[in-house]
Structure 1
Amino acid sequence: MTDFWKGRRVFLTGHTGFKGSWLSLWLERLGADVAAVSLAPETEPSLYRKLAPWDDRGHHIIDIRDAGALLDVLQGFEPEIVIHMAAQALVRRSYENPAETFSTNVMGTANILDAVRQAPSVKTVLVITSDKVYANNGSGIPFVETDTLGGKDPYSNSKACTELVCQSYRDSFFKARGIQLATVRAGNVIGGGDWSKDRLIPDFIRAFESNQPILLRYPEAVRPWQHVLEPLGGYLAYAEALTLGSDRKLPDALNFGPHPESFATVSELAEALGRAHRVEDVWRLAPGEHLAEAPALTLSSALAFDTIGWQPRLSLQQTIDWTAAWYRANREGEDMRAFSLGQITAYEEALS
């Protein structure tokens, strides 16, 4: 990694979540000056608490739907770069409470962008959406950034709406001021420290610790699995390129996904996790009817390579090994802040 981030003022949302906790730690390691807003951690245990201590002066518990509180923190901090990660990120929860999902993901993003509109210090805004923003016909053909946006379930649809909100603010306000606004769409992210409900890795870990097989709803569904540090490294590289400028126009959106050989079914990943944990009886088909999910979802990251030189560094097996090692270290009582920093260091070495 370069020295670009040293001393940069970064406003981050969603810092108590899985990806946000990892990015907070990485930005701290890079020497960035961070102000962050998020809800309190929603799981126990939580990665955010595992990685403590944090600088409490820069971390704020705020709902991004509270536009006034958000504006106060952002304007008071005067950031140069805004990275917006806060979201309701679970598909099944979006079926249970669609209005909450839309209000958080769509209006929460509008609140962020409106605060930026009133903050003259901001040069770059990066909004994290999802690989699920595309209209998916189940063909399995990797999506590219120019494919049609869509999304049938409330979560996916809310993220497609978020993309349109970003497009509107970009064209209506930010272009005239020279503010760079881009969106990023990452594949299925896994890694140590995720304890969310209805996600494969934490569901597997809970089943493993209970000596039970994991119950899979859609074992044959294909997903673009990647380690959490892969897209986060892409976000950092993209934000840097947007801030410094480029001889060629950078795209308004980029995909960050794994190499095609890392595309795998849910059951294949579960079985690989079983081998890493020396478990033979790994999974069962979950009984009952299940909410609709796309049977296949894959991404092309060719544009990210062509424009900012980003490409994934870890194979699927390395991703599984790093993930299993993190949870093993946690069970054995290691210092997980130090262990996580060690994985970030190892990943930085893979980039060089």
Structure 2
Amino acid sequence: MKLLLTGANGFVGQYVQAALPCVPLPVGLDLRDRAALTAAVAAVQPDAVLHLAAQSFVPAAFENPHETFDINFTGTLNLLEALQSCGFTGRMLFVGSGDTYGQVPETDLPVREDHPLRPRNPYAVSKVAAEALCYQWSQTSGFEIIMVRPFNHIGPGQSSRFAIADFARQVTKIRVGRRAPVLLVGDIDVTRDFTDVRDVVRAYTLLLERGQNGGIYNVCSGREYRIRDLLRQLLTLAGVEATIEQDPTRLRPAEQRRMVASFDALQRDTGWQPEIPMEESLQDLLNDWEKPRQ
């Protein structure tokens, strides 16, 4: 099977390339360039598509919502049209986001796929729109599309723009004496649903094989982790003692206090469940930050 991969250079894309034989889009190709995208897809003639490429950093989405929408929605439309023009009849997996649910009342946890979508930032809006587009095409085009809503990822290689990866970076610097024993954090008394990136990629692989056309699936661990507890676990694993200081610049307005989701639909259709324990994910993150950075 010839798998076309968009977003190959991103955090998840690198794990997809390690796990599966796939054909990435040419380096530097912009999904907004219809002609170049159409030519690239025609050259590959894929049997399946994993569409990861997106502008996914929420602060950047607020700074430039037009760009975010152009990449995430219009870029997806360009990809769908490129696939159609080359006679694609396979399956495509569209990667959305658990962020599309927006503020979820604690009484509705764990969140399931039938929960209303109430996006609260331009990134989430773009993903809701692109997901709706993909559903329409799953019903009216000559190929099948499965949609996923992944929740928080964790694992080695993740950018320090994300909280747990940043904590691992800070803890490692303290451990090797390159930083005073003070950790700068945001609001760490919230909970999130974290899944190891390698388990996420396995879920995507199974859904490409077994997911239902037009189906929407949460990809999550089904476990609620308090950020403060994960930070303490990182400190313990590294054998480090440090004080914790809240940095006001890291606080987000109207933060969701608790989040956990259900992967029942994913398990029902594919048999998937998370396999990598949190302690292993955290240790691998710490080990990764030990390596020299370019």
Please indicate, yes or no, whether the TM-score normalized by the shorter chain is above 0.5: yes
Which residue, 265, 271, 274 being the options, matches 2:226? 265
Matched with 1:21 is 14
The 1-side partners of 2:248 and 2:238 are apart by 25
**1:195 equivalenced with 2:159 (yes/no):** yes
* 1:191-244 residue CA offsets vs partner (Å, 9 max, x unmatched): 1112252x11332244232425332222122111111001110000110225xx
Matched with 2:258 is 296
CA contact (8 A) 2:11 2:158 kept: yes
Matched with 1:230 is 199
Matched with 1:112 is 79
Give the drift of 1:282.
5.4
Which residue, 96, 119, 127 being the options, matches 1:159? 127
* 1:329-349 residue CA offsets vs partner (Å, 9 max, x unmatched): x24x9xxxxxxxxxxxxxxxx
Structure 2 residue ranges without an equivalent (≥5):
none
Which residue, 265, 270, 284 being the options, matches 2:245? 284
Matched with 1:123 is 90
Identity of matched residues, %: 25
CA contact (8 A) 2:169 2:286 kept: no
CA contact (8 A) 1:14 1:20 kept: yes
Farther off after superposition, 122-131 or 90-99: 90-99
Please give the residue correspondences for 1:5-44 in structure 2 after superposition, counting only pairs within 5 Å.
8-27=1-20, 32=21, 34-37=22-25
The 2-side partners of 1:314 and 1:25 are apart by 17
Please give the residue correspondences for 1:203-214 in structure 2 after superposition, counting only pairs within 5 Å.
203-208=166-171, 209=173, 210-212=178-180, 213-214=182-183
Structure 1 residue ranges without an equivalent (≥5):
1-7, 38-58, 243-248, 334-352
The 1-side partners of 2:189 and 2:65 are apart by 26
CA contact (8 A) 1:95 1:154 kept: yes
* 1:3-43 residue CA offsets vs partner (Å, 9 max, x unmatched): xxxxx11110000111111111111xxxx2x3212xxxxxx
CA RMSD of aligned residues (A): 2.1
Matched with 2:236 is 275
Which residue, 251, 254, 258 being the options, matches 2:217? 254
Helix, strand or coil at the partner of 2:153: strand
Which residue, 169, 190, 210 being the options, matches 1:221? 190
Helix, strand or coil at the partner of 2:27: strand
Q: What is the TM-score normalised by the length of structure 2?
A: 0.89
Distance change (3 Å), C-alpha of 1:250 and 1:308: farther
* 1:278-330 residue CA offsets vs partner (Å, 9 max, x unmatched): 222153211258443422222100111111111111222222223223333x2
The 2-side partners of 1:133 and 1:97 are apart by 18
Give the residue type in structure 2 aligned to 1:190.
I
The 2-side partners of 1:92 and 1:272 are apart by 28
Farther off after superposition, 284-293 or 147-156: 284-293
The 1-side partners of 2:168 and 2:267 are apart by 33
Give the residue type in structure 2 aligned to 1:88.
Q
* 1:251-272 residue CA offsets vs partner (Å, 9 max, x unmatched): 6111111142xx2122222221
Helix, strand or coil at the partner of 2:248: coil
Distance change (3 Å), C-alpha of 1:78 and 1:251: closer
Matched with 2:285 is 323
Distance change (3 Å), C-alpha of 1:11 and 1:118: same
Helix, strand or coil at the partner of 1:60: coil
CA contact (8 A) 2:146 2:214 kept: yes
Distance change (3 Å), C-alpha of 1:217 and 1:180: same
CA contact (8 A) 1:271 1:282 kept: no
Give the drift of 1:93.
2.0
The 2-side partners of 1:271 and 1:281 are apart by 10
Give the residue type in structure 2 aligned to 1:78.
Q
Distance change (3 Å), C-alpha of 1:288 and 1:17: closer
The 2-side partners of 1:80 and 1:250 are apart by 15
Give the residue type in structure 2 aligned to 1:216.
V
Give the residue type in structure 1 aligned to 2:281.
T
Helix, strand or coil at the partner of 1:214: strand
